[in-house]
Chains A and B, each alone.
Chain A
């Protein structure tokens, strides 16, 4: 086995080689403290990330998807906090219960996090290489030369001149280059769970396509479990095996990407897909979803979070939150969909 710089105990199988971990998020609720009391940004989210898959989480801004992503590292920023639920990661246990040094060491080494490309995720006063050394020292990497070599290889793998990039400051790199540096930082300690928050937002189309190809390829080569957070259905369609649709802090529909996009069940998913303008046909066929997404303060405390904008709204939606019900490989939370399928079942009987 080649001596990787991160061949250090923790999160490995008996063979010593790390493998893609599975992740089980259960009943996750994140609240933010506001003058109006603690308001939920994420409520009761259940989501499994099967080992070795790419899962996409889609939602509008304010739907709670970034908060969900930060929860995977137990890094929800104050005034927010995880008030209930668990995030079980294979080889790490429940991240929500981790504290202090244990939590710090898990970040970076077990879970890699990639920021949105337009954000400045690097210290502007230090070269990429020096920050890499800081990372190595933080995680007690003994062989820093090997770490630099690994970083150079990773950057080279993504089509960059590793030596040059390591010697550069953030302001000397383009958005696409920064994003690849971000991916390098997430992987260089051999993390096998990678969270990408809006990985292609604010990049031009060509660079977007390149980054998505890189994500897909690196995911397969290194055997990762990947979570991609995005507002762009196109990104998910491109890379994700599984798709979860988020609205008002809740997952409304999840399942294999092809099924969800090809035959959306939840009225919100349907609305999202109908809102995409097509390359062929009339531009008028694209229909915007009426209304606005709820904010932290306007998310209804009872009933379905989507009912205000829902074409299938029923009386029960006012009072009861729809439970997630399995439809084949898919979970949908909608009273109306339930009623229709129940009706169909009765007819068949």
Chain B
């Protein structure tokens, strides 16, 4: 257990360093962006008749540092704010802290994207196994082609296509939003039904977009394992097919967990195209909005949350490997 604790400590140190680097970069982007939004904001407030002191405070609340301070003072203020989870205030939603806006959007991203990712993972992995086993047959070819095709089609084309089919040609699903305004938000059947109805297109599109990658990755992984000596050895020892199948699956799925962890981290970035097309107010949608509205504090916050999510996902993936792969485990023991 101490091995895992030591490994975790190392990861955390590296992860925090990573987050700090990204925060620093995001600070300098905001500080040095063309047109100097901070000075512009300050001047605008003064023009609106605010006293210079009040305007300065208002700007500081928004960006986390005083517009009049030196670069170093501003940096210290900004980073200090981070440790209090203060990412400033959003321009587009006056008076709302960035953390609140992000939290609200995360709600609409995490669950649908998580569902979509897991769906496509399960489907892609299962089909990938079949595609590998039947690779010299028609079924295997069809599966592989379906994978390449879906993997090759860009997400936004897929989203537009799905939208066109299921909202226009066969209008069975709502074109956008999170739920019908007819229903009172809360724990009632009508509202939840409407939530599910609205989430269906984004989730299915997300699942289809990911499926191609999984089926191709799993197919090649299974084919590699099938050629491994220990599979032939197990056959020559007269092992049952079901046992050999388990050997193949466990060894083949191992490398896919890294990809899964990274895509689970990326889900905090939101599915930008899908959320935009289905008008779904998740993190990706928020990111686009913040860019269009030059809401720099919100942008910085969004980047930061993506960074943290990916760092955390990688740490979890690595710890997971020490649990499921004995070779990694003893490698850690040897290093400790």
State the A residues within 8 Å of B (CB): 70, 73, 75, 77, 104-109, 113, 115, 119-127, 134-135, 137-139, 169, 171-172, 182, 185-186
Contact = CB atoms under 8 A, between A and B. Distances in A.
B327 A107 contact: no
8 contacts: A104-B241, A108-B236, A113-B233, A120-B229, A123-B247, A124-B251, A125-B325, A172-B330
A125 B326 contact: yes
B237 A115 contact: no
B243 A121 contact: no
Given A169-B326, A171-B330, A135 B239 contact: yes
B327 A124 contact: yes
A185 B250 CA distance: 22
B238 interface: yes
Interface string B238-263: 11110100010011001000000000
A107 B237 contact: yes
B246 to A, nearest CB: 9
A238 to B, nearest CB: 25
A127 B330 CA distance: 13
Nearest to A188: B237
B12 interface: no
B230 A122 contact: yes
B229 A104 contact: no
B251 A125 contact: yes
Contact of B238 (A121, A124, A138): A138
Contacts of A107: 235-238
Contacts, number: 76
Contacts of B232: 75, 77
Contacts of A109: 238
A115 B233 CA distance: 7
B73 interface: no
Contacts of B165: none
Contact of B243 (A105, A120, A137, A171): A137
Contacts of A172: 330
Interface in B1-29: none
A120 B240 contact: no
B234 interface: yes
Nearest to A195: B236
Q: 7 smallest A-B Cβ distances: which pairs?
A: A108-B238, A107-B238, A121-B233, A108-B237, A119-B229, A113-B236, A138-B240
A75 B236 contact: yes
A169 B330 contact: yes
A224 to B, nearest CB: 17
Contacts of B254: 125
Nearest to A119: B229
A106 B237 CA distance: 9
Nearest to B228: A120
A124 B230 CA distance: 8
A104 to B, nearest CB: 5
Given A108-B237, A122-B230, 4 more contacts: A120-B228, A134-B243, A182-B233, A186-B237
B233 A122 contact: yes
A203 B40 CA distance: 75
A135 B233 CA distance: 11
B238 A75 contact: no
A340 to B, nearest CB: 43
A1 B291 CA distance: 84
B326 A124 contact: yes
A121 B239 CA distance: 13
Contact of B237 (A113, A125, A127): A113
B233 A171 contact: no
Contacts of A138: 237-240, 243
Given A77-B232, A123-B230, A125-B251, A169 B237 contact: no
Contact of B239 (A77, A119, A124, A134): A134
A125 B11 CA distance: 24
A120 B239 contact: no
A202 to B, nearest CB: 13
A135 B326 contact: no
Contacts of B239: 104, 108, 134-135, 138
Nearest to B251: A125
Contact of B230 (A104, A120, A171, A186): A120
A137 B228 CA distance: 22
Nearest to B243: A134
A139 B229 contact: no
A200 B254 CA distance: 31
B237 to A, nearest CB: 4
A104 B233 contact: no
Contacts of B326: 124-125, 127, 169, 171
B237 A185 contact: yes
B238 A139 contact: yes
Contacts of B241: 104
B238 A137 contact: no
Nearest to B246: A134
Nearest to B327: A171
Contacts of B243: 134, 137-138
Contacts of B324: 125
Nearest to A182: B233
Contacts of A70: 236
B165 to A, nearest CB: 42
Contacts of B247: 123, 125-126
Contacts of B230: 120-124
B137 to A, nearest CB: 13
A274 B303 CA distance: 73
A201 to B, nearest CB: 13
Interface string B293-336: 00000000000000000000000000000001111001000000
B229 A125 contact: no
A161 to B, nearest CB: 18
B236 A104 contact: no
A138 B254 CA distance: 24
A79 to B, nearest CB: 10
Contacts of A121: 229-230, 233
Contacts of A105: 238
B240 A123 contact: no
A169 B236 contact: no
Nearest to A118: B229
